[in-house]
């Protein structure tokens, strides 16, 4: 066993020992907010998006902590809005809270055929770098952190493995037709486990309680989102085949943490 996998299995043992009270997704936001502060200062995020930094939980290799970037806090986002936008509550601009609530609702009310494409949520926790959403960290079978579809497409193009996983994802997603924001290739991961792979959405769930529409209308909206998703995938492939450079964000991911 390599030094890396020893560390990983040590962390996994610790992960199992985490108190469940702090990580029960079915409790209210208040209860879900763990009382103890998690220290992540000095840790290097394994990835980041336009809004948040993503850390491996120091006590759990299978837990991801998402923290707002310093210039993307709810208060700063609200401040940049116009008069009407500034009348909204801070909660409205709290990406972690919105994400936690949306993910909790999806896990409670949708079948396994849908939730297998979602990380589990462990609730909101306090860190020494601000509030965080604690969620399942998606890793491949070899222990490496799973890649985004965007990054995978740049490296491998549309191969059989991805095509198969995408077909399953789209069929499952359409069957349940959940609310979501636009499906962006940098917000979905390809989780590879042996010869099986699964597409997992890690960001962009929409708002909790959004889309109170009859199934037929929801389905129509999802069909539209899936069509645009295909277009975005094709744009990445076209740019790759035209010899253009990938977006900077694909370099942010450090898979071996």
| Footprint of ligand ATP (CB under 6 A) | 47-52, 54, 64, 66, 95, 119, 135-138, 145-146, 148, 186-187, 189, 202-203, 253
Report residue 93: phi and psi, to 5°. Answer: -95, 5
Structural element, H or E, at residue 93: none
- Residue pair 124/32 in contact (Cβ under 8 Å)? The answer is yes
**49 vs 178 by CB, closer to Mg ion:** 49
**Of these partners, ligand ATP, Mg ion, none, which one is at the site of residue 236 (CB under 5 to 8 Å by kind)?**
none
**57 vs 177 by CB, closer to ligand ATP:** 57
**173 vs 205 by CB, closer to Mg ion:** 205
Closest distance between ligand ATP and the C-beta of residue 101, in Å? 15
Strand 34-38 versus strand 121-127 pairing type: parallel
Closest distance between Mg ion and the C-beta of residue 235, in Å? 17
Quote the CA–CA distance of 246 and 223 in Å, as a whole number. Answer: 27
Name residue, tokens 């972690």. Answer: 96
**Of these partners, Mg ion, ligand ATP, none, which one is at the site of residue 214 (CB under 5 to 8 Å by kind)?**
none
With vertex at residue 65, the alpha carbon angle to CA 41 and CA 60, rounded to the nearest 5 degrees, is 90
Closest distance between ligand ATP and the C-beta of residue 28, in Å? 22
**Of these partners, ligand ATP, Mg ion, none, which one is at the site of residue 54 (CB under 5 to 8 Å by kind)?**
ligand ATP
**94 vs 203 by CB, closer to Mg ion:** 203
Q: Which residues of 142-160 are buried (b: 16+ CB within 10 A; e: fewer)?
A: ebbbbbbbbbbbbeeeeee
Closest distance between ligand ATP and the C-beta of residue 215, in Å? 28
**Of these partners, ligand ATP, Mg ion, none, which one is at the site of residue 52 (CB under 5 to 8 Å by kind)?**
ligand ATP
Q: Is 35 exposed, middle or buried (0-12, 13-18, 19+ CB in 10 A)?
A: exposed
User: Which residues form the interface with Mg ion (CB under 5 A)?
Assistant: 49, 187, 203
Question: 3-class SS at 65?
Answer: strand
Q: Is 123 exposed, middle or buried (0-12, 13-18, 19+ CB in 10 A)?
A: buried
**136 vs 168 by CB, closer to ligand ATP:** 136
When CB distances to ligand ATP are compared, the closest residue is: 49
**140 vs 219 by CB, closer to ligand ATP:** 140
**Of these partners, ligand ATP, Mg ion, none, which one is at the site of residue 104 (CB under 5 to 8 Å by kind)?**
none
């Amino acid at each position: 066993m390599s030094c890396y996998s020893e560390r990983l299995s040590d962390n996994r043992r610790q992960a199992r020992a985490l108190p469940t009270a702090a990580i029960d997704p079915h409790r209210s936001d208040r209860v879900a907010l763990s009382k103890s502060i998690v220290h992540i200062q000095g840790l290097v995020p394994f990835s980041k998006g336009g809004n948040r930094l993503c850390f491996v939980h120091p006590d759990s290799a299978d837990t991801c902590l998402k923290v707002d970037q310093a210039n993307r806090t709810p208060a700063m986002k609200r401040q940049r809005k116009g008069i009407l936008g500034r009348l909204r509550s801070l909660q409205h601009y709290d990406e972690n809270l919105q994400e936690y609530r949306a993910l909790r609702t999806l896990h409670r009310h949708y079948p396994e055929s849908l939730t297998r494409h979602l990380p589990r949520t462990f609730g909101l926790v306090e860190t020494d770098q601000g509030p965080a959403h604690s969620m399942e960290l998606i890793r491949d079978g070899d222990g490496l952190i799973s890649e985004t579809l965007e990054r995978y497409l740049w490296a491998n193009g549309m191969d059989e493995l991805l095509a198969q996983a995408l077909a399953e994802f789209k069929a499952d997603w359409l069957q349940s037709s959940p609310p979501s924001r636009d499906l962006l290739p940098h917000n979905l991961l390809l989780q590879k486990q042996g010869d099986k792979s699964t597409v997992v959405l890690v960001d962009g769930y929409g708002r909790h309680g959004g889309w109170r529409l009859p199934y037929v209308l929801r389905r129509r909206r999802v069909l539209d989102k899936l069509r645009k998703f295909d277009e975005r995938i094709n744009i990445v492939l076209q740019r790759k085949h035209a010899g253009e450079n990938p977006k900077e964000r694909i370099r942010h991911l450090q898979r071996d943490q």
